[in-house]
RNA sequence: GCCCGGGUGGUGUAAUGGUUAGCACGGAAGUUUGUGGAACUUUAAGUUUGAGUUCGACUCUCAGCCCGGGUACCA
């Protein structure tokens, strides 16, 4: 045993193999999501995994500390290229590049994996699937954004969530921007303030946590210290009183900044259109939704699940938003010669999967194959004939692939595999033109076998599956 | 990135400075060449890595690696 030379199988952290039930559920979700996107009038788009680094990197958050650290970047000998970090930036590039060919309002969906080079955990992976819908072009924002809300709600319901199991939180960044303007908060602090506001709904934060972040510093459960924004008492208390407001009318009366008022008006218009549809109950205003700072500049949306999720040790964890997005007016105009606004949402399919796989609400059609046992190698041809009949009739089926193994072994295999039925035929059956079926899911100890004449094969099997 | 905790066969665990690292499940082979999900027998497979302390390290110390959690960031 020279084990020094042997490889140890493993994956880089944050990457996951997926198989069995989870994968089947994922495929099911993807199918539902895609057909719902199509139903809402979106066209498919697929872009390569790699983009030219500048096209993705130039609008990363203007955060001093880690500019490009979250993207996987490579040099192909000529250029720096990066794995796509999301689906919006490839879309922006694509639209800028193919502007002439596209309709004036371009609705596209993309369901692809994205890559993030960051710490994993809590249903956060370094490669994960996003299902993204965007509307690009000059549109009535209220209509476009309402369409997105409806799309999210109906998709999640189609995926198997109940109406009360999720909440779509919407806001408009102009509201918070106006507030920050009013309070004359210095530019350097604005990012921190917005991020602090965004954390209100995070478990373990609440008003107290946000206040600490607005002022000097916050010490978390592990003892690590996060520096705060160092606001004045007046600034901090104004923001805190803003955070207490849940009602659009109350906000409208108390915060008169023009930009804030504009944001409020846009939200009102959104709800007006939402009321024409079926999902307005699922959508709630939440003025603390601020989201990423790089380019959102109006409507923003975040969808949270209303039930708890646990990790495989049974510990309750917060998986965050399963679906988020917003309006971006400058994302595409970064490119030469185009100035087109857009708005979109992205479903975090793997997070949704993580949550859905814990609530057993979805009926899965995971039909394991019928197994044709090879009892006597002499009759191999006959076994393949049976197999052919089954497959012609769309019955998932397989033949046991090692004809040297005895029947007991074959059944052990079939049992572990979860096969519902075994076809067991030997000399006796073939002589009389009969077939024997064994119901592998039957009660132990009972006689689970039937023998019948060959022509009835398909009908008999269909009684069981 | 930062903070905290943890790493013993594939999985779950025992041994806490001292013989050959024990047990269970799972795997493989057999008892059983026409009957699985039971039993029995056999078998393969493990101390995360490196340095240090020690007569002696799975056990103690330091560092790396990996895993988990918190936090930060998240288009």
State pLDDT tens for residues A398-452: 999 988 888 999 999 998 888 999 999 999 999 999 999 999 988 877 788 999 9
pLDDT, position A48: 95
| Stretch among A64-68, A136-140, A262-266, A384-388 having the lowest mean pLDDT | A64-68
The answer to whether the beta carbon of residue A279 comes closer than 7 angstroms to any atom of strand B is no
| A341 pLDDT tier (thresholds 50, 70, 90) | very high
State pLDDT tens for residues A140-180: 999 999 999 999 999 999 999 999 999 999 999 999 999 99
| A66 pLDDT tier (thresholds 50, 70, 90) | very low
Buried b (16+ CB within 10 A) or exposed e, A27-47: ebbbebbbebbeeeebeebee
State pLDDT tens for residues A235-294: 999 999 999 998 899 999 999 999 999 999 999 999 999 999 999 999 999 998 887 656
**Through-space separation of residue A407 CA and nucleotide B35 C1' in angstroms:** 6
State pLDDT tens for residues A77-96: 888 888 898 899 899 999 99
Cβ proximity of A425 and A411 under 8 Å:
no
The answer to whether the beta carbon of residue A315 comes closer than 7 angstroms to any atom of strand B is yes
Q: Count CB neighbours of A384 within 10 A.
A: 13
pLDDT, position A104: 95
pLDDT, position A292: 62
Name the nt closest to A8 by C-alpha to C1'.
Answer: B48
The answer to whether the beta carbon of residue A218 comes closer than 7 angstroms to any atom of strand B is yes
Name the nt closest to A60 by C-alpha to C1'.
Answer: B75
Most confidently modeled range among A56-65, A264-273, A350-359: A264-273
**Taking Cα atoms as reference points, which of A147, A60, A59 lies closest to residue A96?**
A59
Q: Count CB neighbours of A170 within 10 A.
A: 25
Cβ proximity of A304 and A324 under 8 Å:
no
Name the nt closest to A312 by C-alpha to C1'.
Answer: B68
For strand B, list residues 130-189 of chain A whose Cβ lies within 7 Å of it. none
- Interface predicted TM-score of the whole assembly (ipTM), two decimals: 0.81
Report the distance separating Cα A43 and Cα A39, nearest Å: 10
Instruction: Give residue for tokens 């369901």.
Output: A111
Report the distance separating Cα A390 and Cα A383, nearest Å: 11
Domains of chain A listed by start with CATH number = 20-356 (3.30.930.10), 370-462 (3.40.50.800)
pLDDT, position A300: 92
Most confidently modeled range among A48-62, A214-228, A278-292, A368-382: A368-382
**Through-space separation of residue A133 CA and nucleotide B56 C1' in angstroms:** 66
State pLDDT tens for residues A89-124: 899 999 999 999 999 999 999 999 998 888 877 777
């Amino acid at each position: 045993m020279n084990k020094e030379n042997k490889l140890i199988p493993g994956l880089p952290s944050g990457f996951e193999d997926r198989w069995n039930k989870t994968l089947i559920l994922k495929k099911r979700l993807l199918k539902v999501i895609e057909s719902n996107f199509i139903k809402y009038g979106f066209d498919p788009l697929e872009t390569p995994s790699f983009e030219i680094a500048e096209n993705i990197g130039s609008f990363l958050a203007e955060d001093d500390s880690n500019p490009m650290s979250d993207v996987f970047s490579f040099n192909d000998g000529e250029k720096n290229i990066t794995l796509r970090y999301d689906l919006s930036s490839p879309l922006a590039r694509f639209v800028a590049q193919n502007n002439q060919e596209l309709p004036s309002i371009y609705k596209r969906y993309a369901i692809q994996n994205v890559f993030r080079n960051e710490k994993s955990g809590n249903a956060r992976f370094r490669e994960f699937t996003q299902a993204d819908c965007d509307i690009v072009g000059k549109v009535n924002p209220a209509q476009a954004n309402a369409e997105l809300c409806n799309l999210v709600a109906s998709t999640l319901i189609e995926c198997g969530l109940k109406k009360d199991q999720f909440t779509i939180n919407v806001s408009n960044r102009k509201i918070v921007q106006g507030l920050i303007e009013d309070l004359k908060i210095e530019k350097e602090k604005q990012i921190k303030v917005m991020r602090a506001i965004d954390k209100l709904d995070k478990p373990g934060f609440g008003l107290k946590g946000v206040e600490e972040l607005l002022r000097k510093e916050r010490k978390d459960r592990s003892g690590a210290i996060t520096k705060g924004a160092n606001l004045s008492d007046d600034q901090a208390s104004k923001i805190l009183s803003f955070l207490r407001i849940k009602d659009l009318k109350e906000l409208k009366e108390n915060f008169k900044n023009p930009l804030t008022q504009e944001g409020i008006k846009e939200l009102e218009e959104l709800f007006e259109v939402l009321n024409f549809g079926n999902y307005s109950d699922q959508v709630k205003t939440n003025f603390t939704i601020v989201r990423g700072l790089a380019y959102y500049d109006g409507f923003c949306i975040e969808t949270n699940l209303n039930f708890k999720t646990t990790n495989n040790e049974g510990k309750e964890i917060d998986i965050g938003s399963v679906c988020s997005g917003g309006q971006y007016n400058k994302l595409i105009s970064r490119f030469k010669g185009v100035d087109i606004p857009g708005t979109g949402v992205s479903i975090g399919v793997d997070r949704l999967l993580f949550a859905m796989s814990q609530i057993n609400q979805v009926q899965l059609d995971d039909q394991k194959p019928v197994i044709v046992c090879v009892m006597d190698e002499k009759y191999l041809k006959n076994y393949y004939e049976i197999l052919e009949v089954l497959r012609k009739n769309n019955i998932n089926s397989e033949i046991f692939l090692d004809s040297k193994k005895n029947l007991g072994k074959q059944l052990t295999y079939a049992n572990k595999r979860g096969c519902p039925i075994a076809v067991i035929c030997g000399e006796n059956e073939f002589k009389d033109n009969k077939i024997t079926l064994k119901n592998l899911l039957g009660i132990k100890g009972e006689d689970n076998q039937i023998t019948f004449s060959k022509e009835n094969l398909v009908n008999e099997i269909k009684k069981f599956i």
